[in-house]
A and B are shown apart, each in its own frame.
Chain A
């Protein structure tokens, strides 16, 4: 589904991603772990070209999604981002109603059929396990929701445009434990339909939700294997040290 080939990424002179090649299979959850500043978020944001927004950056290597290099000149970035959804660290709903938040992606992509939009909004909210909580107040401001609900709304918003990949950048780091477990549960359910990549600083979370885990340090991919193996019996000593909490 996603494949990177010898990716190097620079912020100005700073070498942030060092020669990373990896593959992610469809309908799996891949977790990126590592100490803060290790490049895991930067690497994630390469998959929907979010780093394009930052001035003075440079990329080498290839990133293939569905076997197409997304940094090829022929790629329409907006189309790419429609297919590769993203959920951010802090819930960031728009200052609009709950309904409008979910409908936003459809509307900007030219969908005008109101019935279709309403149906998609409902489906997405259901898929994000939020429908029952908000169905009576769809036209209230999204800011009236709790933090956890807001984050699930953001997931619903991402699902509404029917992506095939879902990128999650520490989606639960700003949430309380109960909201976090709801998000994790949700990730489990979404796995059957989407390819999910999640960045997290919480190792238990990685262990709970992911099939495969990549451990990053100082811009390098130190180890990448099945989550079970990674947590029980890692190949590298650094991984072992990190997982057992000796640093980071």
Chain B
């Protein structure tokens, strides 16, 4: 009886663990998206701060980009954001300390909120950035500016990633996305011919002895931790890139993609080699028997036959490269700007998460933005892995 029950329990347990990877993926998606989606409900202004304007100002709400441009003095007239044709007067809390002595503000700045209220009320074109702790007691004559929630397009199409800017941080993912794409695609451009060449050598040319030697070496290459690659890139490759191309810094998109290329090689080689070795012997013999050279046989018969496997290798390689974190973090220089040249420094999505999550307060907008980046990364790599699976199963004819 007991034995029967324990058998049933064990069987149930096995069933559950059978589904463990599915459960893990489900959990990962839930947690990433839960934190990430919160981003779109967060105000675009740093927590604990508000923006005030004069009550007569027709403007009721602004987007984070508009706020940023106003405070950067790129927008100087209310007309630009749909208000009256008047110059914008920016007010920061420090200015109050120049106007009033500490005594006048009272003990523990008791009188500060009152004074701030008066200050805002006195100028109808003012925009003031004030901590909520000192929120003006005054209610007439001034109003809190409503700040638009961050939108999908702010996030996905924004061209600036300034997560710690005040008063309004910007979370435009475009530079990171393009940076990731640039580094990964460049890496594949380097790695693909090299990887295919080695795969052809291994599957078609090398004799058994050399193959047995070379295969483990390539596997070793994939075993080296990414932080070691990053370290090598930092101390060897980036000075080399700097010298070769006479750059001011060696940490560039190019350096990152070179390191990534080395890291992607083992995947590309082994998947492509497997695919080529799967080409039936009969196909090769048929081609050779018609007077084709070995090379003609390789590129006219073996490679087309292995096409889906090779494409899968490429897709897998790009997927890996997109998700790679540490090595890229260490050698690309991490400038979150729109990439313009391969000799500039760029910042990728995973590197951004790794570099910034430690400093982003849990639950804050920045934290949520990084989780949203995680979601993006998760989806991209998932799509790549599914595509790879589909292509590798597809028949060529």
Q: Give A contacts to B, CB under 8 Å.
A: 48, 50, 53, 55, 78-79, 81-82, 85-86, 88, 90, 92-96, 104-105, 107-109, 141-143, 154, 157-158, 161
Contact = CB atoms under 8 A, between A and B. Distances in A.
A92 B301 contact: no
Contact of A104 (B207, B290, B396): B290
A95 B305 contact: yes
A95 B396 contact: yes
A107 B301 CA distance: 13
B288 A53 contact: yes
Contacts of A108: 287, 290-293, 296, 300
Interface of B: 207-208, 280, 282-293, 296, 300-301, 304-305, 396-397
Contact of A158 (B289, B293, B296): B289
Which of B287, B289, B396 is packed against the most chain A CB atoms within 10 Å? B289
B291 A92 contact: no
Given A86-B289, A104-B300, A108-B287, 16 more contacts: A48-B289, A50-B285, A78-B293, A81-B288, A81-B291, A82-B290, A88-B285, A88-B286, A92-B282, A94-B286, A107-B300, A108-B291, A108-B292, A142-B397, A158-B289, A161-B291
Contact of B283 (A48, A78, A92, A107): A92
Main secondary structure of the interface of B (DSSP, over half): helix
Which of B208, B290, B293 is packed against the most chain A CB atoms within 10 Å? B290
A95 B287 contact: no
B292 A105 contact: yes
Contacts of B397: 95-96, 141-143
A144 B366 CA distance: 58
Given A53-B285, A94-B283, A95-B397, A105 B291 contact: yes
B290 A161 contact: yes
Contacts of A79: 291
Contacts of B208: 55
Nearest to B395: A95
Contact of A94 (B207, B293, B296, B301): B301
A79 B290 CA distance: 9
23 contacts: A50-B285, A53-B284, A53-B288, A55-B208, A78-B292, A78-B293, A81-B289, A82-B291, A86-B285, A86-B289, A90-B282, A92-B280, A92-B282, A94-B283, A94-B301, A95-B397, A96-B304, A96-B397, A104-B287, A105-B292, A108-B293, A143-B397, A154-B286
Contacts of B296: 108
Contacts of A107: 300
A88 B287 CA distance: 11
Nearest to A101: B286
A79 B304 CA distance: 24
The 4 A-B pairs at the shortest CB distance, nearest first, are namely: A82-B291, A105-B290, A92-B282, A95-B397
A109 B282 contact: no
Nearest to A86: B289
Given A104-B300, A108-B300, A94 B291 contact: no
